[in-house]
């Protein structure tokens, strides 16, 4: 994973900022701390900051901090950083490796939630498309609650080419789509090397990607609702996969 681009972000809050400081995926450019704030008094945060150059840290009074971040959830800390997005897909050795592929997901809140879910579900990476997709932004990072610093993000020009790469590395490809030919989500074996594909808001997974998949799966619902938000669907499948791996 040597080739990557960097995206500038700003993130506030103790947990997200701490995760960013400790992450190899994130390069911290500046840390702004409100004096006598929860962040300033937090032992875990102070220990993390001690590993950085003092030139990166600026401590200011409450009034000055509020002019920069007028949000009670900031807890007195803001970081300005750059986050890596990888261009090259990984060579995989892990037998239970799993990647989530997003086909044109455009809502930053969905991507942020998905990164958070994938961090909790022990997913090895999230793959997005170069076009017609949201990339890493401050909004994505903030919503992810630190997930952006724990799960590598890969950006590809063509998902089908990416799927060929995964197939060459012995992955099974499953697309999740409402389809009469699709199996129930819990009936597919996800314990081995898996790629889980989810479509963007409105359009779903493209036809060519469906053809290139080994399995089609769906999440059955009552007739009161016929679809789920993409991040909700990802959550259901990612934690089913984790249940299978741990069982």
Check residue 224 and give its pLDDT. 64
Check residue 225 and give its pLDDT. 62
Pairing, β 26-34 against β 57-60 = parallel
Distance CA 234, CA 53 (A): 39
Question: Tokens representing 235?
Answer: 């959550």
Is the overall model pTM greater than 0.85, yes or no? yes
Question: Tokens representing 131?
Answer: 């076009």
Of the CA atoms within 13 Å of residue 12, those in its CB half-sphere come to: 18
Distance CA 22, CA 149 (A): 8
Check residue 226 and give its pLDDT. 64
Residues contacting 6, CB < 8 A, separation 6+: 27, 82, 83, 84, 85
Question: Tokens representing 114?
Answer: 């998905």
User: Average model confidence (pLDDT) for the chain?
Assistant: 93
pLDDT over 90 (residue 201): no
Out of 17-26, 115-124, 129-138, 196-205, which region has the weakest mean confidence (pLDDT)? 196-205
- Taking the C-alpha atoms of 52, 57, 59 and 65 in order, what is their torsion angle to the nearest 10 degrees? -120
95 pLDDT band, cuts 50/70/90, is very high
Catalogue the E-assigned strands of 13-151: 26-34, 57-60, 77-86, 98-103, 125-129
């Amino acid at each position: 994973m040597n080739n990557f681009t960097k995206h500038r972000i700003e993130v506030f809050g103790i947990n997200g900022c701490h995760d960013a400081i400790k992450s190899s995926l994130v390069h911290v450019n500046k840390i702004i701390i409100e004096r006598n704030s929860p962040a300033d008094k937090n032992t875990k945060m102070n220990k993390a900051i001690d590993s950085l150059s003092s030139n990166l840290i600026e401590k200011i009074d409450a009034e000055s901090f509020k002019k920069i971040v007028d949000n009670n959830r900031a807890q007195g800390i803001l970081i300005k950083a750059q986050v890596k997005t990888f261009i090259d897909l990984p060579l995989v050795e892990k037998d239970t490796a799993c990647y989530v592929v997003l086909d044109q997901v455009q809502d930053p809140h969905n991507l942020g939630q998905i990164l958070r879910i994938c961090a909790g579900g022990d997913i090895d990476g999230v793959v997005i498309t170069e076009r017609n997709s949201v990339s890493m932004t401050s909004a994505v990072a903030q919503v992810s609650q630190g997930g952006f610093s724990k799960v590598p993000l890969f950006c590809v020009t063509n998902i089908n080419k990416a799927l060929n790469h995964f197939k060459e590395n012995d992955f099974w490809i499953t697309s999740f789509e409402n389809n009469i030919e699709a199996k129930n989500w819990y009936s597919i074996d996800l314990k081995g090397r898996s790629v889980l594909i989810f479509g963007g808001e409105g359009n779903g997974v493209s036809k060519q990607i469906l053809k290139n998949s080994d399995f089609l799966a769906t999440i059955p619902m009552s007739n009161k609702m016929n679809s789920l938000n993409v991040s909700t669907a990802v959550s259901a499948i990612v934690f089913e996969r984790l249940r299978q791996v741990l069982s």
